[in-house]
A and B are shown apart, each in its own frame.
Chain A
Amino acid sequence: MDPITLSRWQFALTTIYHWLFVPLTLGMGWYVAYFQTRYYQTKDETWRKMAKFWGKLFLINFAIGVVTGIVQEFQFGMNWSGYARYVGDIFGAPLAVEALLAFFMESTFLGIWIFGEGKVPEKVHLAAIWLAALGSNLSAVWILIANGFMQAPPAAAYVLNEANGRLELVNFFALIGNPKAWIFIWHTLADGLAMAAFLILAVSAYHLVRKQNLDFFKRSFQIGAVMGLVASTLVFLGGHTMGQYMKEVQPMKLAALEAMWETEQPASFSLLTIGDLTGKQEVWSIRIPYVMSFLACNNFSCEVQGVNDLQAEYQAKYGPGDYVPLMVVTYWTFRIMMSFGLIMMAASAWFLYNTRRKDYENSKWMKLVPFGALLLPYLANASGWILTEMGRQPWIVYGLLKVQDAVSPNLTVVDLWISLVGYTVLYGSLAVAMVYLMKKYAIAGPDAAMHESVDAAPAAVGADD
């Protein structure tokens, strides 16, 4: 493989991996803060246990998000120095603000929350978890503003400086006001809430099926169901809005996620499309008329441009080249993301409907929840991110800089294999430790979480080695 391909694989690996943990961090912080607030108000011991138990799972997950996040910030310079030089004047600013505004807040207040119980006033301890949750969500806001620039650079924000051949910022507010970024932010922060709700549902269902801590887990399950429905609906609405904005700013991505070769008016939605082996031509498809026009424009009659027309248009505009993303990836990741998202909405509505019954934990479908409620959001999250980034190809900054011109010119295949293998081994081991601990703490339940290590039962706190 050539250096560009290797750098792309490494970016994909490290980013998708990072993104497996971040949504849960983003969402779970709010729930833990809410549970602790309820305890503060009511002094009901169950709320305290909920803050503790879900807080433990939050922390085990949080640690991986933090340590893999450092890699994210460094690799823009390490692997993509061409990119860093060309757009650093614009892209560096939100990253610096993210560190200054969000990372300090998140890490400092989480430290107070973990170590401050009983040492700082209760109000301060409560404020600490809210500020930690706010800090992580603020960091998402800033990195999505940065990513929004790569997806749909707002024309008012930058100019090309002819003298030094790079893009320069001329309007910071146009950069942070980028509509693409704010649709992303909406979609992503709601996704965090949905992810955490589904983890709560999965773990609660596991214990409810086994009739353990019924009071605790019924309360958790109910909150998970309500929030799962609210949040996944918000995610869906954000995604729908994104589709319409995509038509304006990234029509090629829209056509590619539909595997739509020819321009249509009104446009139909593909239920199943099979392309030929080159991925450049449709062989066969089943389509629903009008639906794509609705997804792209909110009406049933608009024209949606196809890949072939866009390719011709881009060649005329940007010169010869292949401007079509890898369609088999964009097409299927879109379908996984959207269908799983819809199932999440339907499932949480179903859970909520059933929680009216007193003995819903005895239902047969409950046995499927621990597995299904985890699988759906994780796969949907990863697919959504792959779609976003792969759909941008061959551009690193849409319409302005191609990936091939962004890679660090000094790196060789040897260097990249060393780091790629290194990251794979390291991240793989982290995942083993993380899954082991998550499972152990989730299964051990709320009473064990009140003690510091679930292995150390109350009678034998602190096993010395």
Chain B
Amino acid sequence: MSYEFLQILWFILIAVLWIGFHFLEGFDFGVGMLLPFLGKTDIERRTIINTVGSVWDGNEVWLLTAGGATFAAFPHWYATMFSGFYLALFLLLVGLILRGISFEYRSKDAAPAWRNRFDWMIAIGSFLASLLLGAAFANLAKGQPIGADMNLVAPAWLPNNLGVTLSLLNPYGLLGGLTTVAVFLLHGANFLVLKLEGSLHTRAVEFSKKLWIGASVLYVLLGIYTYVAKFWANGKINPGVIPLAAVVMILLTGYFINKKMEGWAFISTALNIVLTQVTFFTMTFPNVMLSSLNPEWSLTVYNASSSQYTLTVMSVVALIFVPIVLAYQGWTYYMFRKRISTDKKTLVY
């Protein structure tokens, strides 16, 4: 296998990991954000948590694997992005920690105040993580002030990482963040519609109808902004009709929700998320991090990658273990495919 082939292969594999992460953790972030609003009693909230209880941790491992694979295959990408987005990633970690610990601890004490606090931490942690991920990806599409030494240059008005983090919240970054939050909320609501019964189910349907409006409007705005600002032309490949297909998918979701085609509604939003990521990685290639200061300073799959030997070893490892992981993770979803009822006797705490 040639060096260039391996570099492109690993770019695609990392893209696949991010796609999987957004698709899977997207709905459990959504479920997390909806938790305190959709669940009125303790039993209802526990029921909502249990729709993702057995899988959220496995979903999050997609993020860890994306991080690890980036480190192994593109050390410069990992080093530049993680040090450059330092405080934003710190906040992302805070969000993930609050969320993760709350899933495990919220039912370990019966005091209503204790449970309520942890439920809100799940919601806030999920919100924070979604917002920051969306803002980070939008800013990656837009380009970052990467200097000749591959490090991010902080803005003159606040010359440290706080400045970098605040400048991530430019209009495009903010729009990307809010759109991600809205789409994940919709994705979570669609997932809950599939997993809940009775009055919770009815409420989840109502939520998904309202959330669809917000998600579609924001998504279309993000698409127009990206098109007009020509962010799609930064790389070598024109994403073509892929973003249009993503727009169609989110619009179709509304049709499916109204026609009570619950499975299709879930699939169409999921496809919107997948196609959005495909668009991102297509329009970025061969850059992995675009420099807004000088295109020469951009990190690409060629100048940021590991050696041919390391990429070969990693390819063999991935070839063996990725199918195994996909098989048993898929099998878990199959085993826990039933709807979750609020029946106290069957509810796992």
Contact = CB atoms under 8 A, between A and B. Distances in A.
- State which size class the interface on B falls in: 35 or more
A79 B82 CA distance: 8
Given A100-B325, A110-B57, A95 B71 contact: yes
A465 interface: yes
A85 B74 CA distance: 9
Interface string A62-106: 111011101101101111011011001111110111111101110
B58 interface: yes
Interface in B161-204: 161-162
A455 interface: yes
A382 interface: no
A452 B107 contact: yes
Interface string B22-43: 0000000000000000000111
B239 interface: no
A419 interface: yes
Contacts of B150: 85
Interface stretch (A283-291, A348-356, A365-373, A406-414): A406-414
A79 B64 contact: no
Contacts of B73: 92, 96
B219 to A, nearest CB: 29
Contacts of A66: 57, 100
B348 interface: yes
Given A84-B82, A408-B83, A465-B112, A92 B94 contact: no
A78 B86 contact: yes
A95 B161 contact: no
A96 B71 contact: yes
B81 A111 contact: no
A168 B321 CA distance: 24
A461 B115 CA distance: 15
Contacts of B109: 437, 440, 453, 455
Contact of A408 (B57, B63, B86, B322): B86
A409 B53 CA distance: 40
Contact of B108 (A67, A92, A430, A441): A441
16 contacts: A70-B60, A73-B67, A73-B68, A79-B86, A90-B310, A92-B73, A96-B68, A97-B68, A109-B328, A111-B57, A117-B348, A119-B335, A169-B310, A410-B83, A419-B86, A464-B42
Interface of B: 41-43, 50, 53-55, 57-58, 60-61, 63-65, 67-73, 75-76, 78-84, 86-87, 89-90, 93-94, 96-98, 100-101, 103-105, 107-112, 115-116, 149-154, 159-162, 306-307, 309-310, 313-314, 317-318, 321-322, 325, 328-329, 332, 335-336, 344, 347-349
Given A99-B61, A161-B307, 19 more contacts: A63-B105, A70-B96, A73-B64, A78-B82, A78-B86, A78-B89, A85-B79, A92-B73, A101-B321, A104-B58, A107-B61, A111-B58, A168-B306, A172-B309, A418-B90, A419-B87, A430-B101, A452-B349, A462-B42
